[in-house]
Amino acid sequence: MTVIAGKILEDRIVIAADSQVTWGQAKTEGTKLYKIGENLVFGGSGHLRDVNLMRLFLDTHMPASADERDVLEFYAEYIEWAKRKMSGFEAHSSFLFGFDGKLFEIDSDFDVTYADFAAIGSGWEYARAALHLGHSPQEAVQVACDLTIFCAPPVTEFSVVRQTTEGS
């Protein structure tokens, strides 16, 4: 299970994640948060397979921008690519991205949501409430870890410079 929380600050976008990975009745540690180059951070919640495929996809693909149409096209390309890699692939995950000055969530149903702060995963409600109250993403993830059995430390965090175009 997972909690990933992100927040847009004045000069950067910060995303943090817990490390608990659940497999059946067992739990272990794993990575759910990645920094790709200097301009993109993403975390994934759901099937680790989907997160790993997205990580591989990002080795050779990037959204043209963080605009909704470009993000939808990027996600559609990811789905097509994943189906070529794994026959029978069906997306079952959510992703939180910090890219191109924006923080956005992509769900497996092709819903793209933009926000100044956001959280995904089984601990999202706790983390989102903590973000709403002014806490950092790392603190928000720790709150979720404290309040649900489905998330656990250690907490990892990455940030990217908030690059915006003039007038946005």
Tokens 């923080």 -> residue: 103
Which amino acid, one-letter code, is at 168?
A: S
- Per CATH, which fold does 3-161 belong to? Glutamine Phosphoribosylpyrophosphate, subunit 1, domain 1 (3.60.20)
Selection from 15, 11, 60, 2 nearest residue 41 by Cα: 15
- Side-chain-side CA neighbours of 152 within 13 Å: the count stands at 10
Tell me what the pLDDT averaged over the chain comes to. Answer: 94
* pLDDT on residue 164: 59
Domain boundaries, the chain: 3-161
Whether pLDDT at 14 is above 70: yes
- Per-residue pLDDT of 105-122, as tens digits, reads 999 999 999 999 999 999
- Per-residue pLDDT of 137-155, as tens digits, reads 999 999 999 999 999 999 9
* pLDDT on residue 165: 56
The full DSSP string for 73-113 is: HHHHHHHHHHHHHSTT-----EEEEEETTEEEEE-TTS-EE
Tokens 């079952």 -> residue: 92
- Between CA 26 and CA 166 the distance in angstroms is 49
The full DSSP string for the chain is: --EEEEEE-SSEEEEEE--EEEETTEEEE---EEEETTTEEEEEES-HHHHHHHHHHTTT---S-SSHHHHHHHHHHHHHHHHHHSTT-----EEEEEETTEEEEE-TTS-EEE-SEEEEETTHHHHHHHHHTT--HHHHHHHHHHH-TT--SPPEEEEEE----TT-
